[in-house]
Structure 1
Amino acid sequence: MSLEELRRRVDELDDNIVELLAERLSIAEAIGREKAAGEVPPQDLGRERLVIEHVTGAAAARGMTADEVTELYRSIIKLARQRQARSVAFQGEAGAYSEQAAFQYFGSRAAVKACESLEGVFKEVESGTVQFGIIPMENSIEGSISRSYDLMLESSLMVSGELHLRVNHCLIGNPDATLDSIRRVYSHPQALGQCGHFLRQMGFELIPTYDTAGSVKLIKEKCIMDGAAIASERAAVIYGMKILARDIQDNPNNFTRFFAIGRKDAPPSGDDKTSLVFAVKHRPGALYEFLRILAEHKINLTKIESRPTRKKAWEYNFYLDFEGHRQDENFRAALPALEEHVLFIKILGSYPKAK
């Protein structure tokens, strides 16, 4: 075959590939509707792993290597997941880090709904107005977001996924502002705390608000010329504001951990985590016995912390994460023994580990 004939054959094959890809995405949309009807979490990493294994096996039968198809199919799977559009509630205004987390986890086609409070996110999901919520749980610098943990305890919703989002803070002012003209800085208390060194160095007055992006919106709408906000670069673009300084967080390894929440948790993927909350009986060694049982059943903890019960002074609940799924045999075998040492135990959900 001549060069022109070969190229013509490539064009024909590309037409076929595009046609098949369009059909695959159409099926992905149908799968998304079925998942939505059953309130199934959007990510099923176990199924995605089987797809990769299937195509790499098919590739090997045709003389291709796994590497030659794996990355391609990961992109196709990502594209297919984005076609399975979800409705998601988040706390904050457009441009908030929680909105960014929603798009990153659920895909760019997610229908997002802004809520003024974390309580609002839970109400939207519980009422069925949206399918899922995305909530911040802890920051690598400032620690846990206590209200999120309290709401998880109070709600019947479950954790279906987690996401680690890198946070890069910007100091944002009105278009005519300069760094020297700023006297006050507005933002969420977590963001103010994450930029403590920069803010102390500049000597700004700090004004806590309910949201990072909402702070940008505030100084714009009220024309606060001597005020700036700490928020994302995307928030500056959305509201047409000026970035006065970038990457002002104290630590470059600044991540926030988010939970995706819904009516169900996720099926086993083979690489999972489980979150739960419990309170031990008021007797010596009760917490030790609880942890000993986990160790005896080869259950590896990744986090444990205490939170006040908010019912009686100096009484605490314990929040715990471990590697594995609640359906795993070792946890199911451990559960009856664990229940002997607690006043209550509530599984918040099992979900694939964040990558």
Structure 2
Amino acid sequence: MNFIGLGPYKWKYKTDRALTDEEKRNYLEKRKKTSEDVCDDLSVIRINGTYLELVDRWYADKGHAVVYGTFGAAPALAIALMSINAIPDVNGVAATSLIAIAILVMAVFFFAFLYLIHFEAFRKAHYPIRLNRKTRMVYAFKPNGSVIRASWDNLFICKDSHYVPLMGRRFYDIRAHILDEDGLTIRETFTLGYPYFGDEERLPPLWEYIRCYMEDNNGVKKNYETTKLCMPVGERREGLYFGIVRGFGIAAFSPFIAQPLMSPIWAVITWGRLIAMYTSRVPRWPEEIEAECQIDENDPYCKDWRDNDKFTFIEGPWPVIWFVIGSAIAITAIYLTVTSMANAM
């Protein structure tokens, strides 16, 4: 998972700086059509004639930080506890010092991995972005819980990317900058749109979907017809059923090979996703923003998760079956690994 913008330090968006030459080259013009294809890329929460609401860049991969953090924190805690228990049986200052150092190192690792878990757990269930077509305003939740307000017309929007060494690739997104009065200094930044898995080739159709809604006369109707599946969040958390479907969605291209073979891995990731969702709070837009985003009573273009078609057997129940099987395999493997390590010690 690409954590850019979610955490501190190198994962935080850099602000209070000048636009780079690359950002200027990758500028996305709001009134210029950029792609013949239009795709929401499973990022829509709801759409209507007043506003379009999208999920954040971390929503699709939610659960990874919880899993990575848990698998890092658990052994660090176990080693630290075993080291503490070994202190009474150790003689000599040197040996005791080495154990103390080991405990300290493991404690540092433990709290570092706990913080990684906190990237997703005990925060917001998601960080929505709302684009108001009528008032030309954009609202976006930040990871710290505050809300960004900006004029659509004044936003500097560009294609951006971030290289993740552990994965050996770049992840692309549609980045929105709020500039100072000089038109060059970035004061605030957020991701406006994120193509699935950060693929560069999927970015133009997603940008065209967003741009079309805000700029084209028939943008609302076109996007309404394009959107086939709305994410079941907003005033609620993502449910267990959809969480499993979304967690196994990365292998949906091969339901009879990839999903069964990868089921233990994706079951674990899905459990991490569920933990992240159900330990976090549902975001609530401030009352003044809701007041600015009133939907017309007879709006013919209202669509949210309630309008989704039911999943077919392969789309829904099939991943649930492999989630159960994969969970059983993963639990058994973890249990055997832990018991074998305990016996070895």
* Bigger radius of gyration among the two: 1
Which of the five TM-score ranges fits, normalised by the shorter chain? under 0.3
Q: TM-score, normalised by structure 1?
A: 0.18
